[in-house]
Structure 1
Amino acid sequence: MQTAYTLKLAHINDTHSHFEPSRIQFNIEHHNKSFELYSHTGGYARLQYQVKQARLAAQQNQQEFLFLHAGDSFQGTLYFNQFKGAANAHLLSMMTPDAMVLGNHEIDAGNGPVKEFIQATNFPILAGNMDLSREQKGKVAPLCGEPRLYDYDPVNHIAKPLIRSFHDRQLAIVGITLDQMKEIARPDADVHFIDAIATTRNTVQSLKKQGIHHIIVLSHLGLQQDRILAQEVEGISLIVGGHTHTLQGDFRKLGRSNLTYGERVNETPIVHAGLHAETLGLANIEFDASGKVTRLLGNNNFMLDEQFLLQSPQDVDEDDYEQIRSILTDHPGILWDEEDVAIRYAIGSQYRPAIDALEHQILAFVPKTLQHSRLPSKHLPHGSEISPWVSKSMYHEAREVSADIDFALHNAGGVRHSLEQGKISVADIIGRVLPFELPLVRYQIQGCYLIEAIESAINAATNNGVIGTGAGSFPYTYGLKYHYDGRQPIGSRLQQLQILDKLHPANHDIHNQELVWKPIETHHYYVGVSSSYTASGKEGYQALLQSCWQKDIQDINLAAAFMQFARKKEVIDQPLAPQLSYISQHS
């Protein structure tokens, strides 16, 4: 009988269609000099090369091997905008993961794209708390009964586990995704997501009764919820997670974060692997016969260009370059740029030509980088610099269609990246900054509900005394400005909410300091424009569902509005005048 059960694990999460290497910057201090290092990391060809190497090493060392994806392959880049889930299905199938859990972005457009993705892949898709038992018969894209989908078992109240042989035992992989899915995605109305903790607990207990003690939870809950899951549910061997884009590992020497890789909660290790296919988690793990992890050695690994750019205010010589290369070589979280030829060829021949065409369509010029941060911070006390411009573009382009619009309101999570200095192309906008194809919606709402929606969204974004769904709900506006004080009781934190005087001309601009701001009147009615996601009441915006009416704006979506606005303006200037002030609950 074996006493040690070994596993080599490779894992990724939140890859978001980043098929090609991503630009990256490290800040390094060495011999009293400061360096900025610029390189590229990751991408599917580099991932595949390293996964193949890890699989081969496991065979040579008589280890079991698993390659797991913890959800959110959809959205993120022009590749998704152009090819939807088909490119993800093709390239991930070439990489042959052992399992992937459904993330929230897989369900952004309902169940139809999920069905297409499952049918186009060759690996198991796990969603153990996704209840399909009430799907309507005869619907266009039913998921119930898909052979590679491991969903919820409503009879036994458990997740359907993926069972594998594991040395002389069996190992179970249980996929658990967000039970708040209807708050942050758009699943079909007849699909329900069961409590993540209760489902996991029931499943683990069921597996234990069957004599299966080696249990991996493949989770798309986020690090904090994974910690709660580990604390609340006994008997989980290991959690492989995603959703919060958490980079574990000690990267302080590179000017990055320092979070324990494989941190333990209630004796259960938790591993996450960052975002955007930038890093690959690799771990050697030993379990005892009862399923407990007795040893875990590993790290997240950047996969960097062999040649990198090094800059310093104090100049850089050849000796500096070689010393910095030695620091990288000696770092436990650095691999290099070897690529899998087949993946590289598939991207270059089948998908890259369409992207090249979009990168040559120039929209405007940005004289200074406009930073994106979902929440206000010490560095950016008024939050994102680009999100107000997005709201302004929504406002102006929507007013071309309907002049009755008083304000624009958008959530921070709909903007995905900063807008870099220089020429901006169609590819920059729909591939990076605004990758979600979200229609615009006009709506009429009473002032009291507008106040409620904005405070609720901020509370949800910042967890100021409420259980939120993440920082993506933080509101950015145009034609509205507000002051929020999180130290006040819930319901009275929005100290001021003002609207730009609608009597002024349609071409008014907040840069003009002579314009008049008026307090929102609780009983007055106003007309706003938001994305369909925000207007549907997601992530703290439930009060928008109290609108008197909502009407789609035809033939224009979020990204199109910004691109039309940018073409007219030609130059996207410095950050707009602040439209919000924010005080944290803990200030």
Structure 2
Amino acid sequence: MKQSTLAFPTIQRLTTMAALVLGALFLGGCATEGAGPVQAPSNAPAAFELTIAHINDHHSQLDAFAATELVLDGVPTQVELGGFARQTSLFKSVAGTPNLLKLHAGDAMTGSLYYTFFKGKADARMMNTICFDAFIPGNHEFDDGDATLKAFLDELAQGPCQTPTLSANIVPQPGTPLAPAGGKPYLQPSIVKDIGGVRVGLVGITIAGKTRASSRPLASTQFLDETRSAQAAIDALTAQGVRHIVLMTHHGYEADLALAAQLTGVDVIIGGDSHTLLGDFKALGLPSGGRYPTVARNAAGERVCIGQAWEYGKAFGLMNVRFDAQGRVSQCSGQASLVIGEPFKRKDAAGAWQPLPAAEAAALQARLAANPAVRVLAPDPAAAQTLAGFASQVATEKARTIGTASEPLCLVRVPGERADPRAGAGCEAASSLARGSDVAQVVAEAFLRGSRRADFALQNAGGVRVPVPAGTLSMNTAFTVLPYTNVLVELDLTGAEVLAALEDGVANHLDLGQSNGSHPYAAGLRWDLDMSQPKGRRFSNVQVRSKTTGAWTTLGPAKTYVMVTNDFVAAGRDGYATLGPVYAAGRYVNTYLLYTQTFVDYLTATGPLARPSRADYSHQKVITRGGVALP
């Protein structure tokens, strides 16, 4: 969702970490599953093959995406896409594959009402219908802190699966939820699996800066440098004679490519975080982020096979890795496949979507069986039954209507950049307009209305997750737009601090290379923005709207204002460095208003939802990074 930067640990600290990892591995901190005590390295066969089935970033999206349009046999066709019970069927279908590993590369939680109401319990129960060999925490596993992650991992440990959770660069403080006093730590840097008589090492790495800046881990939980931590864990395994290393990462596809080139001893990287679809899907009407698997080279010039499987349970990765007699990768192949199922629908002569007749649907399914880019199958019955137990508890609340939208509210994180296409008709030009995100603007307006004290409201672009199509709005709409558990706080700020905070939000993505989710939107506050200028000179003509008269006046640098925002931004997260000390000094009031409920209250109070007047948008004039003035 959001990113920031975390300074590298000192060499002394890294050396200490490496020593701890080595010691833990030699003293039993690295579990060897199915192989008994650590033995001398086995003699791997010349043609040892490893198969890896993997997913990532399912984000509590446990239901299938109905009526998803793909191009099948050259014809636009609606299908059901994904669904965790369908993933269970797929994992079960490959269960007989020799030398199989089943991996989940993080961000299991947050993103749907299943998380809102069950805080990972539903995700863990569904993951246990697959029994992954390993899981790594993504940044969103820390959205509600270490204790919520612990509760999720406790659920994951229920039953026979006992899925280990790996991260070589997360170091919880002893006595905290993830490292309980006198108990077993919840996170291991690595494990060793016996795969067909050959020992295979698994190492976990979680994105450091983004997790610290954009989620809510305990301040005492350390996030160490990804590259150095990965190498330390790999070296500890190779010192034991483990010759085959699979690195599980949650820090993005491009970062995986860069990481592979800096490491020695790594053979495979199974990643997540960037939601990248790898493979050739042009015939299906989808773009690709690269080849599947992507073949890179490590620091020793040896092959590294890299895979990622898109997002939300929509895709399934299956990678085959072949090793030579020296334990090096000689070949890797495989496929990331879209996971789809019936009903299949196509447009009739009148342009309406209609289910295919049974015979046509069966013939289409038979043809698709020869296409490795798609896997057509029904949901696993037992997994579907498990999910139904959770679904029944939220169905009534999800369906409750809270209002309507008279026009689509487009989602554009940064004016001039790509618009989210999910709002449909009416947002075709959104990416070319200075106003930017309609839905972020409306969310800010909701926050301002919900606060009695605030002069204006601030919302980070990445905290608003989806656009809003025109039509009926339900509770599910609100919880999908704002899926987290933030509350609203009111900060006392000078005008100079407000301006500095705005500059922080833009510099976070323009200068620091972090997520553009930090980009600011506001209600009751407007500006001109020139992103071609350096930090400190980007914002001009900043004005405040009177809550009583509606008149706009220039922001006074020495004047004190009250700004309402979510507690995440208020605490200085997502690059808002100016706000952090204000929050830490106690210059705020916690309203204890759940931000999603505030949005719901706004929808129900204001009638049909529409875009604000153009004069009320926070972005009045915008010049892009490339110097283009937007209309």
Query: TM-score normalised to the size of structure 2?
Result: 0.81
Q: Secondary structure at the match of 1:454?
A: helix
Residue 476 of structure 2, aligned match among 422, 427, 432:
427
Question: What is the distance in 2 between the residues matched to 1:22 and 1:573?
Answer: 26
- What is the match of residue 89 of structure 1? 124
Contact 1:125 1:148 in 2 (8 A): no
Q: Does 1:455 align with 2:503?
A: yes
Alignment-mate amino acid for residue 296 of structure 2: V
Shift of 1:564: 0.4
Q: Does 1:187 align with 2:217?
A: yes
Alignment-mate amino acid for residue 536 of structure 2: G
Q: How many residues align?
A: 549
Q: Does 1:308 align with 2:344?
A: yes
- What is the match of residue 461 of structure 2? 412
- What is the match of residue 278 of structure 1? 314
Alignment-mate amino acid for residue 295 of structure 2: R
- What is the match of residue 585 of structure 1? 625
Question: What is the distance in 1 between the residues matched to 2:69 and 2:368?
Answer: 11
Question: What is the distance in 2 between the residues matched to 1:3 and 1:466?
Answer: 46
Query: TM-score normalised to the size of structure 1?
Result: 0.87
Alignment-mate amino acid for residue 497 of structure 2: Y
Shift of 1:414: 1.6
Contact 1:408 1:530 in 2 (8 A): yes
Question: What is the distance in 2 between the residues matched to 1:557 and 1:171?
Answer: 46
Q: Does 1:178 align with 2:207?
A: yes
Question: What is the distance in 2 between the residues matched to 1:312 and 1:294?
Answer: 50
Question: What is the distance in 2 between the residues matched to 1:27 and 1:586?
Answer: 34
Residue 112 of structure 1, aligned match among 120, 124, 147:
147
- What is the match of residue 245 of structure 1? 275
- What is the match of residue 364 of structure 1? 403
Shift of 1:140: 6.6
Q: Does 1:485 align with 2:524?
A: no
Q: Does 1:98 align with 2:133?
A: yes
CA RMSD in angstroms, aligned pairs only = 2.7
Shift of 1:292: 3.3
Q: Secondary structure at the match of 1:165?
A: strand
CA deviation digits over 1:76-101, x for unaligned, max 9?
Answer: 11111111122222221222001110
Q: Does 1:523 align with 2:552?
A: no
Q: Secondary structure at the match of 1:418?
A: coil
- What is the match of residue 196 of structure 1? 226
Shift of 1:465: 3.2
Q: Secondary structure at the match of 2:129?
A: helix
Question: What is the distance in 2 between the residues matched to 1:584 and 1:198?
Answer: 36
Contact 1:444 1:549 in 2 (8 A): no
Alignment-mate amino acid for residue 537 of structure 1: G
Residue 494 of structure 1, aligned match among 539, 544, 551:
539
Distance 1:24-1:531 versus aligned 2 partners, 3 A rule:
farther
Question: What is the distance in 2 between the residues matched to 1:279 and 1:455?
Answer: 38
Contact 2:368 2:376 in 1 (8 A): no
Range 577-586 or range 245-254, more displaced: 577-586
Question: What is the distance in 2 between the residues matched to 1:369 and 1:453?
Answer: 29
Distance 1:497-1:5 versus aligned 2 partners, 3 A rule:
farther
Distance 1:575-1:37 versus aligned 2 partners, 3 A rule:
farther
Shift of 1:281: 1.2
Question: What is the distance in 2 between the residues matched to 1:14 and 1:141?
Answer: 21
CA deviation digits over 1:401-452, x for unaligned, max 9?
Answer: x2x311111112222222233211112212x221111110100112222222
CA deviation digits over 1:160-215, x for unaligned, max 9?
Answer: 31101134431110011011122111111221111111111222222222221211
Residue 10 of structure 1, aligned match among 53, 66, 70:
53
Shift of 1:11: 0.8
Question: What is the distance in 2 between the residues matched to 1:313 and 1:453?
Answer: 55
Q: What residue ranges of structure 1 are gaps of 5+ in the alignment?
A: 152-159, 509-515
- What is the match of residue 423 of structure 2? none
- What is the match of residue 195 of structure 2? 166
- What is the match of residue 168 of structure 2? 128
- What is the match of residue 81 of structure 2? 41
CA deviation digits over 1:493-527, x for unaligned, max 9?
Answer: 22443222x2643xx5xxxxxxx433323322221
- What is the match of residue 18 of structure 2? none
Distance 1:488-1:300 versus aligned 2 partners, 3 A rule:
same
Alignment-mate amino acid for residue 344 of structure 1: A
Distance 1:569-1:312 versus aligned 2 partners, 3 A rule:
farther
Contact 1:28 1:254 in 2 (8 A): yes
Range 47-56 or range 288-297, more displaced: 288-297
- What is the match of residue 52 of structure 1? 92
Residue 293 of structure 2, aligned match among 245, 262, 265:
262
CA deviation digits over 1:532-551, x for unaligned, max 9?
Answer: 11111111111112437443
Alignment-mate amino acid for residue 229 of structure 1: L
Q: Percent identity?
A: 26
Question: What is the distance in 2 between the residues matched to 1:140 and 1:334?
Answer: 41
Distance 1:305-1:542 versus aligned 2 partners, 3 A rule:
same
Q: What residue ranges of structure 2 are gaps of 5+ in the alignment?
A: 1-42, 157-161, 298-302, 419-428
Residue 474 of structure 1, aligned match among 511, 516, 519:
519
- What is the match of residue 381 of structure 2? 341
Distance 1:419-1:144 versus aligned 2 partners, 3 A rule:
farther
Question: What is the distance in 1 between the residues matched to 2:413 and 2:276?
Answer: 16
- What is the match of residue 79 of structure 1? 114
Shift of 1:455: 2.1
Q: Secondary structure at the match of 2:382?
A: helix
- What is the match of residue 563 of structure 1? 600
Question: What is the distance in 1 between the residues matched to 2:347 and 2:618?
Answer: 36
Question: What is the distance in 2 between the residues matched to 1:465 and 1:573?
Answer: 34
Shift of 1:313: 9.1
Shift of 1:131: 1.2
Distance 1:29-1:71 versus aligned 2 partners, 3 A rule:
closer
- What is the match of residue 220 of structure 1? 250
Distance 1:327-1:10 versus aligned 2 partners, 3 A rule:
same
Contact 1:17 1:88 in 2 (8 A): yes
Shift of 1:552: 4.1
Range 98-107 or range 491-500, more displaced: 491-500
Q: Secondary structure at the match of 2:341?
A: coil
Contact 1:385 1:576 in 2 (8 A): no
Alignment-mate amino acid for residue 436 of structure 1: Y
Alignment-mate amino acid for residue 591 of structure 2: Q
Distance 1:210-1:224 versus aligned 2 partners, 3 A rule:
same
- What is the match of residue 157 of structure 1? none
Distance 1:324-1:235 versus aligned 2 partners, 3 A rule:
same
